[in-house]
Amino acid sequence: MRVHKLTFAALAVAAGLSLTACQNDDADTGQSAPSSGATASSSGGGSDSGSSDQGGAKDSAGTSSATNSGATSSGGTGTAAGTGSHANAKVGKCRTDELEITAKDNTIDGDPDGTVVVELTNHSGRDCTISGYAGVDLKTNAGSLSAKRTGQQATSAVLKNGKSTYFPVNYPFNKSGGSGVRVTGLVVTPPDETKSVTLNWPGAATLPVTDGSGSPVKVGPVGSAGQGG
C-alpha cells in the first residue's frame, strides 16, 4: 500500500511538473504574443514609416506642387516677360518712314549763329523710341557738308503717336561780304536709320567759305530743342 502511495505521489509530482511545464509553455507562448505584437508594432511602425513615407510622398508632392507652382509662377513671369517683350516690340525704334520730318528757321535776333530746328513727328500709329543724333548734311553748290555733333548728352525717349520731338542745327552767318557757299537743301537721317529725307533749307541762303578746318555746322541730339527751338 505504501508502494502504491509513493507511486501515486510520484505520478502526482510528475503530473504537477508536466502541468508546470505546460503552463511555462503557455507562458512562453504568452510572451511570444507581445513579441509578435512588437513585430506588428514594428510593422505598424513600418506602417507609420510607410505613413511617414506617404507623408514624405505628400511632402514630395507638396514640393512638386511648389515646384509646379514655381513653374507656374515662372510661366507667369515668362508670360509677363513675353508681354513685356511684346510691349517692347510695339515700342520699337522710330523709323524714317514713320516720321514726318520738317524744318524751320528759328534764328532769334541777336544770336551769333543761325538756327534751324528740325521737327520729327510720329505718325506711325504706334509709340516708338528715339534717341541720339540724327545725321545732318547740307547740300551746297560746293558739295555736301556734314554737320558735326555738339557733344551734348543724348537721352532716350518714347515718342508717342502723333507727338513731336526736335533738334537744332546751328550754322554761322556769312559776314564775309562775299557770295559764300550757297545752301540748296537739308538731308536728315533719323537716329539709327539709314534712310534719309531731303528738305528745303529754311535758313540763310549762304554760309561763309571755310578754311577747311572742319564743318562750321553743328547738330544737337534729338530732344535738345523745344517746340519752335
- Summarised one tens digit per residue, pLDDT across range 11-29 is 444 445 444 444 444 444 4
Per-residue model confidence (pLDDT) at position 106 = 95
Distance CA 77, CA 86 (A): 14
- The residue length of the chain stands at 229
Position with higher pLDDT, 82 vs 156: 156
Mean pLDDT of the chain: 72
Task: Tell me the percentage of the chain whose pLDDT exceeds 90.
Answer: 50
Residues 6+ apart with CB under 8 A from 56: none
Query: What is the average pLDDT across 121-133?
Result: 96
What's 113's DSSP letter? E
Contact status, residue 183 vs residue 203, Cβ threshold 8 Å: yes
With cut-offs at 50, 70 and 90, classify the pLDDT of residue 215. Answer: confident
Residues 6+ apart with CB under 8 A from 103: 116, 117, 118, 119, 169, 186, 188, 199, 200, 201, 202
Check whether 142 has a pLDDT greater than 80. yes
Check whether 82 has a pLDDT greater than 50. no
Per-residue model confidence (pLDDT) at position 91 = 82
In DSSP terms, which residues pair with 197 in a beta bridge? 188
Distance CA 219, CA 150 (A): 6
Per-residue model confidence (pLDDT) at position 6 = 42
With cut-offs at 50, 70 and 90, classify the pLDDT of residue 30. Answer: very low
Per-residue model confidence (pLDDT) at position 213 = 65
Beta strand 143-146 pairing with 148-149: unpaired
What stretches of 132-180 adopt beta strand conformation (E)? 135-140, 143-146, 148-149, 156-159, 164-172
What's 93's DSSP letter? B
Q: What digits encode the pLDDT tens for the residues 88-125?
A: 456 899 999 999 999 999 999 888 999 999 999 999 99
Cell triple for residue 118?
Answer: 528740325
Position with higher pLDDT, 50 vs 113: 113
- Stated as kind and residue range, the H or E segment containing 50 is helix 2-90
Check whether 131 has a pLDDT greater than 60. yes
With cut-offs at 50, 70 and 90, classify the pLDDT of residue 210. Answer: confident
Check whether 158 has a pLDDT greater than 50. yes
Q: What digits encode the pLDDT tens for the residues 176-190?
A: 878 899 999 999 999
Query: What is the average pLDDT across 1-13?
Result: 45
Strand, coil or helix: what is 180?
A: coil
Per-residue model confidence (pLDDT) at position 228 = 55
Distance CA 43, CA 49 (A): 9
Per-residue model confidence (pLDDT) at position 229 = 53
